[in-house]
């Protein structure tokens, strides 16, 4: 099937920036208060309330029957973890993936937080996964191809560090729908796939495992875990393809500032 690619106008990109920023601001609220003892259900409620207070519509809730407002993926959970009432503990890593609709446009991004002390190899996995996202974003310029993004991410993570790049789940176009064409794999060949045009908006989201790339889905039909039980990291940005440099619509800098100011979180990988 041929991709149906929807290029946005400048006005629409500006609106999408607002939607992406509402997610960034929500994740910043999480970064301010997150600590061991909190549950992922607490985080779900915080995100729900903050988004509602800022006119956001919760986009994950009931998406293909998804039963929560956020995805909270702890340690060996790759993505789509259900929030629950188990307290987080020091040494956990947790990816919070959140989405809203604001003025008809989707924002969808994710950030992995570290609670207290984790093994150095996990700290490195978090650092390298975040770096790989930016290496992918560097390729999101006009006349490059979708495969260039995945190639850059795979080079940095699998080739350089021996990590596992999850194959089953991919990034995606973003707009009036949460998932638009094209799919954006975190692996692939340079010079292959769709040629990118200005104002194509993509959610780029490397899911990188410390060990094997292989994953399985729990009986709940959603929770994706690493097959070897080793941790997995997930970062996601919303980006707009431009001529010389992609425009990043979401913003990690406000999340990182809050993370640094929160003594219960570990940001020593900067």
Contact 132, 112 (CB under 8 A): no
Closest CA to 252 of 267, 230, 232, 231: 267
For the CB of residue 121, give the shortest distance to Co ion in the complex, in Å: 26
Residue whose structure tokens are 């989405």: 99
Residue 108 interacting with Co ion (CB under 5 A): yes
For the CB of residue 106, give the shortest distance to ligand MF3 in the complex, in Å: 10
Closest CA to 247 of 4, 5, 21: 21
Closest CA to 238 of 106, 53, 87: 106
Q: Which of residues 108 and 251 has its CB atom nearest to Co ion in the complex?
A: 108
Out of 79, 203, 224, 241, the residue judged to bind Co ion by CB under 5 A: 203
Q: How many residues bind ligand MF3 (CB under 6 A)?
A: 12
For the CB of residue 203, give the shortest distance to ligand MF3 in the complex, in Å: 6
Residue numbers 193-222 binding ligand MF3 by CB under 6 A: 203
Pairwise CA distance, residues 205 & 128, whole Å: 13
Q: Which of residues 18 and 168 has its CB atom nearest to ligand MF3 in the complex?
A: 168
Spell out where the chain has E strands.
Answer: 57-58, 70-74, 77-79, 93-102, 105-114, 164-165, 171-173, 180-184, 201-204, 207-209, 215-217, 224-226, 232-234, 237-240, 247-248
The region of 11-19, 84-92, 142-150, 200-208 touching Co ion under the rule CB under 5 A is 200-208
Out of 42, 44, 76, 97, the residue judged to bind ligand MF3 by CB under 6 A: 97
Residue numbers 234-263 binding ligand MF3 by CB under 6 A: 236
Alpha helix stretches (DSSP H) within 110-266: 120-138, 146-154, 160-161, 252-261
The region of 45-53, 104-112, 120-128, 220-228 touching Co ion under the rule CB under 5 A is 104-112
Residue 158 interacting with Co ion (CB under 5 A): no
For the CB of residue 89, give the shortest distance to Co ion in the complex, in Å: 27
Closest CA to 58 of 102, 93, 11: 102
The region of 12-20, 30-38, 63-71, 225-233 touching ligand MF3 under the rule CB under 6 A is 63-71
Residues near Co ion (CB under 5 A): 108, 203
Residues near ligand MF3 (CB under 6 A): 60, 63-64, 66, 71, 80, 97, 99, 108, 172, 203, 236
């Amino acid at each position: 099937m041929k991709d149906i690619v929807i290029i946005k106008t400048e006005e629409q990109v500006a609106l999408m920036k607002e939607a992406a920023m509402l997610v960034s601001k929500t994740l910043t609220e999480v970064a301010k208060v997150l600590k061991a003892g909190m549950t992922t259900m607490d985080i779900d409620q915080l995100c729900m309330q903050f988004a509602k207070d800022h006119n956001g519509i919760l986009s994950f809730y009931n998406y293909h029957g998804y039963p929560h407002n956020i995805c909270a993926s702890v340690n060996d959970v790759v993505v789509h973890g259900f929030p629950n009432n188990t307290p987080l503990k020091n040494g956990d890593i947790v990816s919070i993936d959140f989405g809203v609709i604001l003025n008809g446009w989707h924002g969808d991004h994710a950030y992995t937080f570290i609670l207290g002390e984790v093994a150095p190899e996990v700290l490195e996995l978090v650092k390298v996964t975040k770096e790989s996202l930016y290496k992918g974003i560097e390729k999101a310029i006009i006349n490059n191809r979708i495969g260039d993004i995945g190639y850059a991410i795979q080079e940095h993570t699998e080739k350089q560090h021996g990590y596992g790049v999850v194959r089953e789940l991919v990034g995606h176009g973003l707009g009036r729908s949460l998932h638009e064409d094209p799919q954006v794999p975190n692996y692939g060949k340079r010079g292959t796939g769709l040629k990118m045009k200005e104002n194509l908006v993509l959610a780029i989201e490397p899911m990188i495992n410390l060990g094997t790339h292989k994953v399985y889905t729990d009986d709940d039909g959603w929770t994706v875990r690493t097959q070897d039980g080793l941790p997995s990291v997930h970062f996601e940005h919303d980006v707009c393809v431009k001529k010389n440099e992609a425009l990043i619509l979401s913003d990690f800098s406000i999340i990182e500032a809050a993370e640094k100011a929160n003594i219960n979180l570990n940001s020593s990988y900067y």
